[in-house]
Amino acid sequence: MKKIFIIDSSPRKNMNTAQMIQKFMEGVNSFKAEIDVKHIRLYDLDFHGCYSCMLCKMKNNKFLHYCGRKDGATDILQEAAYADGLVFASPIYYGDFNAQMKAFFERLTYPWLNYEDYSKNHNPKPNRPSAIIYTMNAGQAYQENMEEMYQRNESLFMHIGLAKPERIKAICTKQVADYSKFNFTEEHAALHNNWHNEHFADELHAAFEAGKRMANKVATME
């Protein structure tokens, strides 16, 4: 059975990232094909970023495709290395993926980096479909500033052998259920509440449609 892995680095189980992931999964499941969707929450794992042990770079080693370092992410990293589709869902902290996602991404993809020939890589399933789900406080006015980050990540994905990731966004997110309990200005609260009410349903639908598209790509892979 084909498998799609969704890597979720949000610390919160029911907020924006979780809802976008749920809609993406519903989109996959709406495509009438036997595809297993596995949702991994990184905050449930006890793991670290790359240890720089260089085990994956040793001659005649068995870890060209996945990280051999043992900790709470080892089994997930090995399974994700061979998934047919990869989705990375992260809230944006300080203009990029959060720490948990960066740590996992290092561990997943560093074994694929080929120091002998930079034009090639050790990705066991090259050009497989990928997607990035971004959720962020930044609103429409800041999207031009975010473009450099989006393009950098997309270039990195392609450099390590994934297909160019589909970009899925929820912007100007509602950060808390009740802004009156926190130190936010009334203008900030109104902006985010209004955007949520007017646009979040469309962003969720976009995630659903992206899930359908990835399911179609995965189902037709040889």
List pLDDT tens digits, range 178-199: 999 999 999 999 999 999 999 9
Determine the Cα–Cα distance for residues 185 and 188; give it in Å rounded to an integer. 5
List pLDDT tens digits, range 110-162: 999 999 998 899 999 999 999 999 999 999 999 999 999 999 999 999 999 99
Determine the Cα–Cα distance for residues 193 and 188; give it in Å rounded to an integer. 9
| Of 28, 19, 21, 26, residue with least CA distance to 7 | 21
Amino acid (one-letter) located at 186: E
What's the pLDDT band for 25 if we cut at 50, 70, 90? very high
